[in-house]
Amino acid sequence: MCDFFWPLELSILGAILGSFLATVAIRWPAGRSALSGRSLCDGCGRPVAARDLVPILSALLLRGRARCCGARISRLHSAVEIACAICGLTAGLVASDVTSLVIAAFGWLLVLVAALDATELWIPDPLIAIVAVTGLATAVLLPPPVSDRLIGGAAGFGSLWLIGFAYLRLRGQEGLGGADPKLFGAIGLWLGWRLLPAVLLFAAMIGLGMVALRLAAGRAVARDEAVPFGAYLAAAAYPALLLMVHLET
Ligand SMILES: [Zn+2]
């Protein structure tokens, strides 16, 4: 397989999968299935023609408005499609064959996690369970060894759970979402314990960067405002896997 075409193919696959995952991210919080039926307009519920379903390009050509009813197409569609395309591209650049597919799959799962957390402050347990199980299973293809991953799972969950518990005791309010320790544990099952401090630091930096951006845009940030920390963890974990695979192979 040519070195150049594979990352390109994986990025196209990512964009196509991303268009499905964006639908999942929009429908799951409402308890609707993304698998049943055809693609329906988020605005009016009418079926969307195939020509208007091309990832990224359709939204650009339609200037962000649905052809059927003129409703704004949620920016989540393009954001998820672009993020999934980037995950595919970068996975194809650091690895080849089935290994790169597995790496991309981690990214695609994390994009769904981030989309749900960013829009709904909600990460469903079944989704975290999929991240956890696939993490342990991929020890056959990728570093680190199973022992590192099991410690990572326990350390990831335990560390954030303790931080959340201490915050609750000291401040008398929830400082972390209930899903964050579980997600960090699942990430530990992919990356092993060694990378977790770096992921946590990077996630915190993304969070601070977001706050700085909002302040720079002149918008207030409340002290007790809920932030999608799970989305920041997801955004930090994927580059960590890319870097680890790049350095170790
Ligand atoms: Zn419509």
Expressed in angstroms and rounded, the spacing between residue 75 Cα and the centre of ligand 1 is 15
Nearest to 6 by CA among 79, 81, 101: 101
Expressed in angstroms and rounded, the spacing between residue 71 Cα and the centre of ligand 1 is 6
Torsion of CA 102, 182, 124, 17, to 10 degrees: -20
pLDDT, residue 180, reads 96
Expressed in angstroms and rounded, the spacing between residue 29 Cα and the centre of ligand 1 is 20
CA distance 216 to 237: 26
Expressed in angstroms and rounded, the spacing between residue 81 Cα and the centre of ligand 1 is 20
pLDDT band (50, 70, 90) for residue 223: confident
Where are any strands of DSSP class E within the chain? none
Cα 28 from chain centroid (whole Å): 15
Q: Which amino acid is at 246?
A: H
Expressed in angstroms and rounded, the spacing between residue 66 Cα and the centre of ligand 1 is 5
pLDDT digits (tens, 9 = 90+) for 47-98: 888 888 888 888 889 999 999 999 998 899 999 999 999 999 999 999 988 9
pLDDT, residue 195, reads 97
CA distance 132 to 183: 8
pLDDT band (50, 70, 90) for residue 2: low
Kindly give, in sequence order, each residue whose CB lies less than 8 Å from that of residue 74, ignoring residues fewer than 6 positions away. Answer: 22, 26, 42
Expressed in angstroms and rounded, the spacing between residue 69 Cα and the centre of ligand 1 is 4
Three-class SS of residue 72? strand
Expressed in angstroms and rounded, the spacing between residue 65 Cα and the centre of ligand 1 is 9
Expressed in angstroms and rounded, the spacing between residue 37 Cα and the centre of ligand 1 is 16
pLDDT, residue 1, reads 47
Expressed in angstroms and rounded, the spacing between residue 8 Cα and the centre of ligand 1 is 32
Three-class SS of residue 158? helix
Kindly give, in sequence order, each residue whose CB lies less than 8 Å from that of residue 219, ignoring residues fewer than 6 positions away. Answer: none
pLDDT digits (tens, 9 = 90+) for 119-151: 999 999 999 999 999 999 999 999 999 999 999
Residues 36-45, mean pLDDT to the nearest whole number = 80
Number of H helices, E strands in the chain: 9, 0
For 72, list phi and psi in degrees, rounded to 5: -65, 130
